[in-house]
Amino acid sequence: MLIQVKKIYDKLGVEGLKKKPRNKKWTIDQRLNIVKGFLAGEQIVKISLENNLNPSLISFWAKKYLESGISGLELNKGRPITKSKILNSKRSKVSKNLNSKDQSNSLTCVYKELKLLKEELIHFKKREKKLWKRN
């Protein structure tokens, strides 16, 4: 830790030791350039000094990039959608379709409901897969 602080001081002076502003927004291109440099074999300390970043953040971006490509470097803003909201919205759509005037089209309504349930199942499987990758 002390060696890293000395390197920061040698490279950036007193300004490098000051507290950095939090939550700087990095574009996907900037992240990609940093990750590509790291994966090309540059030292993580050198990259972190040049870009005024924490080395653990660079390794985190590299891990995300290796797992899911460029899409892993995107920011996922906001709280993820809960299962109950998805279920309620899709079920209400299906029930509205069933209450329509054309009861003769009940078979098509059943197919629509089946399609929605299949989409829902695919969504939950993807979500479960992401959760397993995190752990």
Question: What is the distance between the alpha carbons of residues 94 and 106, in angstroms, rounded to a whole number?
Answer: 11
Indicate the DSSP class of residue 43. Answer: -
Question: What is the distance between the alpha carbons of residues 98 and 101, in angstroms, rounded to a whole number?
Answer: 8
Predicted structure pTM score: 0.47
Residue 41, domain member (yes or no)? yes
Q: Are 37 and 75 in contact (CB under 8 A)?
A: no
Residue 63, domain member (yes or no)? yes
b/e map of 77-104 (b: 16 or more CB within 10 Å)? eeeeeeeeebeeebeeebeebeeeeeee
Q: What is the pLDDT of residues 26-58, one digit of tens each?
A: 888 899 999 999 999 999 888 988 888 888 899
Q: What is the pLDDT of residues 68-124, one digit of tens each?
A: 888 888 877 777 666 666 666 666 655 555 555 555 567 777 888 888 888 888 888
Total domain count for the chain?
A: 2
Residue 78, domain member (yes or no)? no
Residue 124, domain member (yes or no)? yes
